[in-house]
């Protein structure tokens, strides 16, 4: 199956919303089993300001569906979400 990178940027000043929905986001990752790599983007102070999630799904439509159903997205955390097909070469 192809891999897709979800590159998500939080809306400014939404750290409290991220914290409040983090457990649901992590449970969604566990429940779907589609994530092969993931983690937050950090600001210079170490605060979370976005997410990079690599999902292994059959097609782009499934990646879009996964992204739309992420509790972070449903809560309105992200100001921008980019989805790109990704090819693993190293690591």
DSSP string across 17-53: HHHHHHHHHHHHHHHH--EEEEEEEE-TTS-EEEEEE
Considering the domain boundaries, does residue 27 fall inside one?
A: yes
Indicate whether 91 belongs to any domain.
no
Q: Residue 50 forms beta bridges with which residues?
A: 9, 41
Give the pLDDT of residue 13.
94
pTM for the model stands at 0.93
3-state secondary structure of 2: coil
What is the predicted pLDDT for the residue at 42?
Answer: 97
pLDDT of residue 86: 97
Q: What residues in the chain have per-residue pLDDT under 70? A: none
Give the pLDDT of residue 60: 98
Q: Is residue 21 part of a domain?
A: yes
**Which pLDDT belongs to residue 91?**
83
Does residue 35 fall inside a structural domain? yes
44 within domain boundaries: yes
CATH number at residue 35: 3.30.70.1060
* pLDDT for the residue 55: 98
Domain assignment present for 26:
yes
Count: domains in the chain:
1
For residue 59, give every residue at least 6 positions away whose Cβ sits within 8 Å of its Cβ, in sequence order, or none.
Answer: 2
- The residue segments making up the domain with residue 12 are 3-86
10 domain-assigned: yes
pLDDT at 38: 97
């Amino acid at each position: 199956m192809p891999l897709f990178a979800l590159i998500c940027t939080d809306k400014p000043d939404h750290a409290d919303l991220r914290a409040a929905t983090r457990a649901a986001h992590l449970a969604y990752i566990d429940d779907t089993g589609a994530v092969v790599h993931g983690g937050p983007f950090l600001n210079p102070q170490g605060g979370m300001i976005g997410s990079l999630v690599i999902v292994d799904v059959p097609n782009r439509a499934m990646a879009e569906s996964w992204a739309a159903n992420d509790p972070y997205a449903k809560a309105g955390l992200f100001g921008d979400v980019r989805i790109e097909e990704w090819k693993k070469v190293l690591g």
